[in-house]
Structure 1
Amino acid sequence: MVRVGRAQGGAVEIEFTAEDMARTRFAVSPLWEVVASVRVLMETDDQGMHRQWCEQVRPLLAAAKLDLTPLARLITTPVESIPSFLVPPPTTPQPSLEVELATLRATPPELLRTSCPGAQEYAAELRSDPVRELGRLTELIAAYWEIAIAPYWPRMLALFEGDILHRAIHFAEGGARRLFDDFGPQLRWDSGTLQRVRRASRATQRLGGRGLLLVPSAFAWPQIFSNLGREDWQPTLRYPPRGIGALWKLSPQPCSDALAGVLGRTRARLLAELTAPASTTDLARRISLSAGGVSQHLTALRAAGLVSAHRTGRVVLYARTSVGEALVR
């Protein structure tokens, strides 16, 4: 199971050998973000970290009539754990969703289990016909991704990459202690062990030379999720990245004169306006241009790899690609 770390009570001491430090790495996981974001939609976001995203996505999911029941049945509320087979650790630094879904579809039937009482019945259904049921589940995840995550992925990925770079520099400057010193109160480094503070009593976890996989996650906030027990997987911690509070802030971006000189002012304005995914009609209203004119400019920007298009029901949402994000910054 992928479990939630809590900042009370005892601690799990994760022991590192020299080989473990050599194998410690970072990665991102599109599949994890899907599952964790469904968790956010199911729960009440009391502190409002993801409120803007929820308010944008919920009506789109409703319009697409996407039934999230199969995913929801695997996630208990309030969430204490997520079935580990649903979120295998990524094997490369930046796997595509398609690669991770292929791994999920290939899950052996004997691993389709969960200790969550509410999810055991559905896990049994998955085991009864894994090819069919896992196929349906991955199709649902792919459809949900296109609506709820893909338009925001370049922005999320930029946040993750910035966090990984920041921590890599810390590691180069001061080793493991420097790497882990700003993960927050749930993690602390002490004398060759990483201590994960939680409610449970004190315990020791040895990595066994596999190292530790660190995965920044937008939708993990404010918790740290761990999967340390499976011997056939690399031990994994999923944590909120630095700057998560600014992820969904949609403050208008200025239209750079330099960028306008290259793209033309209208296209530069459109790119600047895409702080969040938007439709042609919405963009036309914002910049006082006809929908047809906006469509022509978006087609050019898309051909240049600066924006991407994502259909949700009858509406097509446009979003900046990672290249577009970099140009605006």
Structure 2
Amino acid sequence: MNRNIVEFRLAPGDVSAIRFGLSPGHELCNAVRVLQRPEEHPLQWGWLRSVRSRMPRQPFDVLRTVIGAEGYFPDFFTSTPTWDMRPADEFARLREVPVGLIRADLSKMLARSTGERQRAIRQMHDDPLRARAMLADAFEAMWEAVLAPHWVQLERILRADIAVRSRRIATDGLGGMVGSLHRTVEWGDDAVRVELRMHREALDCRGSGLVLVPTVLTWTHGCSVLTEPPAQPTLFYPAQGVTEAWARDPGSSEAALGALLGPARAGILLASHAERTTSQVAADTGLAISTASHHLAVLRSSGLVASRRDGARMLHLRTPLGEAVVGAAL
């Protein structure tokens, strides 16, 4: 039986060609699909219950017209994911997408649609400047309504997944890590292969590399890919440890960590996804600098936080172990 395989070919032994990234835009596109077919996504039912009442109808209708319920959706919604990608970066990028790219991607959607949906997409295709502004407005409105309230939890899960995968490279090798991404993904002959439902392709990633991106609001069938320039070849895979309760109140996660570490250290660890100075940690937590320094020293000695000197400042950041602990609490 013929299988639809996308193959990302890499240089022999080039571990550095594979890196991880985050994609807020891809999460939102998947969220639009989950909202269209909630019965297919039981792990998202907790999130769905929390967002249905505040979902903005008109922006949702605009986005679902273009994104659809399955299969390909326009590449311009997702840029090449990076480790420090922020939602605001996605919004700004979307408002500057070249008109030619918008028309090209909408042309693909025209070929995949019929009836009223096709007519709506054709109007966007014929006036790409207006379409870009309309889609960007809808994108930002939907984000603020359905994902912004949960981005802190969602980002913690994604970063915890990346931390675990990164450690697995050291213990199991690149092939072992890749093989653990999903049942449809495998490694062999210096290539990453993923089985998809409706697409097959072979890409030479030597020189460009491959970006691996975990997702929480994942598609029903598991993995998806981004293969066309100007984006870097990208493989999206389901983040591990996602349960129906992932979108619970952030306070409950902090309480769970607080029971383990104490409230002050739990708060410091949860907020350590970005580098901060000791003074910033103290200000964010309302602690004296000496107290914050003490808690940071305990977290550092436990391997949960790493500290480095930058001139006169000391900067603190969660370690992979700290990411895993935070992810487990979620």
Please give the TM-score of this superposition, normalised by the length of structure 1.
Answer: 0.69
Give yes or no for contact 2:20–2:212 (8 Å, CA) kept in 1.
yes
Q: Which amino acid aligns with 1:224?
A: C
1:85–1:19 CA distance, 2 compared to 1 (3 A): farther
Match of 1:231 in 2: 229
Match of 1:81 in 2: 72
Match of 1:70 in 2: 62
Match of 1:54 in 2: 48
Give yes or no for contact 1:53–1:248 (8 Å, CA) kept in 2.
yes
User: Which of these residues, 39, 58, 70, is aligned with residue 33 of structure 2?
Assistant: 39
Q: Provide the rounded CA distance (Å) in 2 between the counterparts of 1:19 and 1:242.
A: 26
Give yes or no for contact 1:29–1:94 (8 Å, CA) kept in 2.
no
Q: Which amino acid aligns with 2:77?
A: L
1:172–1:122 CA distance, 2 compared to 1 (3 A): farther
1:46–1:126 CA distance, 2 compared to 1 (3 A): closer
SS in 2 for 1:231: coil
Instruction: Give the structure with the higher percent helix.
Output: 2
Q: 1:221 offset after TM fit, Å?
A: 4.2
Q: 1:173 offset after TM fit, Å?
A: 2.8
Match of 1:182 in 2: 180
Identity percentage over the alignment? 24
Correspondences of 1:145-156 after superposition (within 5 Å): 145-156=143-154
Q: Provide the rounded CA distance (Å) in 2 between the counterparts of 1:209 and 1:135.
A: 34
Q: Provide the rounded CA distance (Å) in 1 between the counterparts of 2:193 and 2:260.
A: 50
User: Which of these residues, 96, 118, 133, is aligned with residue 86 of structure 2?
Assistant: 96
Where in structure 2 are there 5+ consecutive unaligned residues? 268-282, 287-317, 319-324
Q: Provide the rounded CA distance (Å) in 2 between the counterparts of 1:257 and 1:165.
A: 20
Superposed CA deviations along residues 237-292 of structure 1, whole A, max 9, x for unmatched, are 111111112552749655649746x69xxxx9xx9xxxxxxxxxxxxxxxxxxxxx
Q: Provide the rounded CA distance (Å) in 2 between the counterparts of 1:120 and 1:210.
A: 35
Q: Provide the rounded CA distance (Å) in 2 between the counterparts of 1:242 and 1:172.
A: 18
SS in 2 for 1:220: coil
Superposed CA deviations along residues 76-100 of structure 1, whole A, max 9, x for unmatched, are 23x011111222222x312222211
Q: Kindly indicate whether residue 158 of structure 2 is the aligned counterpart of residue 160 of structure 1.
A: yes
Match of 2:97 in 1: 107
1:51–1:103 CA distance, 2 compared to 1 (3 A): same
SS in 2 for 1:188: strand
User: Which of these residues, 126, 133, 136, is aligned with residue 135 of structure 1?
Assistant: 133
Q: 1:10 offset after TM fit, Å?
A: 4.1
Match of 1:17 in 2: 11
Q: 1:153 offset after TM fit, Å?
A: 0.8
Where in structure 1 are there 5+ consecutive unaligned residues? 1-7, 272-302, 307-321
Q: 1:65 offset after TM fit, Å?
A: 5.2
Q: Provide the rounded CA distance (Å) in 2 between the counterparts of 1:139 and 1:242.
A: 32
Q: Which amino acid aligns with 2:241?
A: G
Q: 1:189 offset after TM fit, Å?
A: 0.8
Superposed CA deviations along residues 176-235 of structure 1, whole A, max 9, x for unmatched, are 21221211211011221222123458753322421111111111244101112x133210
Give yes or no for contact 1:224–1:239 (8 Å, CA) kept in 2.
yes
Q: Which amino acid aligns with 2:88?
A: E
1:198–1:131 CA distance, 2 compared to 1 (3 A): closer
Q: Provide the rounded CA distance (Å) in 2 between the counterparts of 1:209 and 1:164.
A: 23
Please give the TM-score of this superposition, normalised by the length of structure 2.
Answer: 0.69
Superposed CA deviations along residues 86-122 of structure 1, whole A, max 9, x for unmatched, are 22222x3122222112221112222112323326544
Q: 1:42 offset after TM fit, Å?
A: 0.7
| More deviation, 243-252/208-217 | 243-252
Q: Which amino acid aligns with 2:181?
A: F
Match of 2:308 in 1: none
Give yes or no for contact 1:215–1:239 (8 Å, CA) kept in 2.
yes
1:199–1:144 CA distance, 2 compared to 1 (3 A): closer
Q: Provide the rounded CA distance (Å) in 1 between the counterparts of 2:41 and 2:218.
A: 14
